[in-house]
Amino acid sequence: MNVKPWKLFQLQKSKVAKDLSTTLFYPAVLGYFVYAIFHTLTISGNINKLFEAFSKNSILSSVNALLILGTLIFYCCDFLGANYVKTYSWWNLVCDISLMVLLILTFNSLGVNTDINLNKMDLDLFCFVFSLFMLVYLIRYGARRYFDRLDEQQKKDYGRRAIFEGVMFGVFLILGLCKFYSKHQQIFYLLFPIGGMSFSIIYYIKIIKKMTKD
């Protein structure tokens, strides 16, 4: 089968972009997460602080611990999405680098890289940074919906994803900008970020499962 030279060049560029993302940048971010957790846990007294946090307020500490776990799961979902996508352009690489930077900022907003104090995490900052994370996904899916050559079903799929990202972006942005958690410390309100993140993770897992079947 004869393939035009410019097509081969385009495929090669796509492969280079994908390889950079999945074999260089994502492993580097994973290394940062592992190092940050290991370094923080090995600081003298931090293990005791961890147990003290759970003994003082087990529900709040559990919610915050789940947010840390959710951030790591998001990393895995984003990596799998980059790995399974069929057409990977330099635009995808720019989006993925942006997502990785925001994942690191989300991770750092939870204070894991400096100290373990599960009762004093900045949830306002977390919500704001996470809203930017959703914004990148919104831009990516919206751009693919309007600028890529897709069939009608694919357009509908990306349209639904963009709507979902827009809703999640709005919710987390409002929570972050309004300094919601500086004013409300009730457990009921603290369930909003963990609920939103859990719902997003389930949604992305569904997308990845579909990508593996296509």
Q: Which amino acid is at 45?
A: G
Identify which has the larger pLDDT, 180 or 200: 200
Nearest to 115 by CA among 173, 170, 185, 42: 42
Residue 214 banded pLDDT, cuts 50, 70, 90? low
Note the pLDDT tens digit of each residue in 65-108. 788 888 888 888 888 888 888 777 788 888 889 988 888 888 77
What is the CA 7 to chain-centroid distance, rounded? Answer: 33
Q: What is the pLDDT of residue 74?
A: 83
Residue 6 banded pLDDT, cuts 50, 70, 90? very low
How far apart, in whole angstroms, are the C-alpha atoms of residue 82 and residue 106? 20
Residue 9 has pLDDT above 70, yes or no: no
How far apart, in whole angstroms, are the C-alpha atoms of residue 201 and residue 177? 23
Mean pLDDT on 54-68: 73
Q: And the tokens for 40? A: 């923080």
Q: What is the pLDDT of residue 54?
A: 67
For residue 163, which phi and psi values (nearest 5 degrees)? -65, -45
CA distances from 114 to 2, 102, 149, 172 (A): 57, 17, 46, 24
Nearest to 200 by CA among 169, 155, 175: 169
Domain residues of the chain, as ranges? Answer: 17-213
The model's pTM is 0.78
Nearest to 164 by CA among 132, 199, 192: 199
Q: H helices of the chain, where?
A: 5-20, 26-42, 46-56, 58-84, 90-109, 123-147, 152-177, 180-183, 187-213
How far apart, in whole angstroms, are the C-alpha atoms of residue 139 and residue 166? 9
Q: And the tokens for 87? A: 């057409």
- The answer to whether 87 touches 144, Cβ cutoff 8 Å, is no
Residue 127 banded pLDDT, cuts 50, 70, 90? confident
Q: What is the pLDDT of residue 8?
A: 40
